[in-house]
Amino acid sequence: MRYWFPLGIFICWFVLASFGPLFPLMPDHIELSKILSTPGNDAWLGYDDLGRPLWDRLVEGARVSFYVSLLVVTISLILGTLIGATSAYIGGWFDHVVIRIIDIFLAFPGLLLAIALAGLMGPGLDNVVIALSVIGWVGFARLTRAQIMALKHRDHVHAALALGAGRTRIIMRHLLPLVLAPLIVEATFAVASVVISEAGLSFLGLGIQPPDPSWGSMIRDGTRYMLVAPHMVLVPGIALLLVVLSVNLLGDRLRDRMDVRN
């Protein structure tokens, strides 16, 4: 029962992100008479410093965070899994080169490297996806490589080799299906990491650009009015907290369910 709450938060995030465009939202509509207005009957979450409804902007920000996290995790999962599986199965000099590249990426803090890449490419949603994907594949590659190294000497792999199966068939049909469980768990934690990273880049002005809303840019705009309108920071901040916490709790639950030792 204790996982119903994070599951409900995740479902709300998914619904707002997927069906938000169907709602009658006006995230860029300005009402000068309601600048910095607190939550009330006319606006659930109040208005920002330009008189724009925070609820509408929060829903649009949910769509941005969900889109970025889904795209980045998908790209990182596919790229990292293929690189890690190929490296582990082939071995030799190719494996050594891949390991050195992974070590180089791990030598830098992930968010710092993403900030550097986004700064070089310029602000924008597409560049954020590219920057986060460049650093996101490393974790999947390490995990896949470790799993394949432990599996590639099993009897069913030797049997497939004896029957004339090629490397691609062995990797795709006989090895990768056995490592899907840990990869799925890793992907859930990666979603939470990407949501935080996207918000951080937007907070620094390297993510989605105004007037399009993002939870990170909403927090940045609200920091100037903390004393007079704290709801400008609390609304996107609490939303970000709930989404990341719910994804992490669901990831813990998924890891426990997929643990064969249990």
Instruction: Kindly tell me the burial class for residue 43, based on how many C-beta atoms sit within 10 Å of its own C-beta (0-12, 13-18, 19 or more).
Output: middle
Query: Helix, strand, coil % (nearest 5) of the chain?
Result: 75, 0, 25
The CA–CA distances, whole Å, from 212 to 52, 80, 118, 168, 202 equal: 12, 31, 18, 43, 11
Distance CA(4)–CA(156), nearest Å, equals 40
Q: Could you tell me which of 45, 58, 50 has the C-alpha nearest to residue 17?
A: 58
Residue 62's region, left for phi above 0, alpha for psi from -120 to 50, else beta, is alpha
User: Which residue is associated with the tokens 């029957």?
Assistant: 163
Measured in residues, the chain has a length of 262
Q: Could you tell me which of 25, 203, 35, 19 has the C-alpha nearest to residue 111?
A: 203
Tell me the pTM: 0.87
Distance CA(166)–CA(90), nearest Å, equals 12
Would you call 173 helix, strand, or coil by DSSP?
A: helix
Q: Output DSSP code: residue 228.
A: T
Q: What is the pLDDT along the chain (262 residues), one digit of tens a residue?
A: 467 888 889 999 999 888 887 888 888 888 888 888 888 777 778 888 888 888 889 999 999 999 999 999 999 999 999 998 888 888 788 889 999 999 888 888 888 888 888 888 888 888 899 999 999 899 899 988 888 888 777 777 768 767 777 767 777 777 777 888 888 888 998 999 999 999 999 998 888 888 888 999 999 988 888 888 888 999 999 999 999 999 988 888 887 776 655 5
25 alpha carbon, distance to own chain's centre: 25
| Residue 125, CB-side half-sphere exposure with 13 Å CA sphere | 17
Domain limits, the chain: 47-258
Structural fold of domain 47-258:
MetI-like fold (1.10.3720)
Structural contact between residues 213 and 57, judged by C-beta atoms closer than 8 angstroms: yes
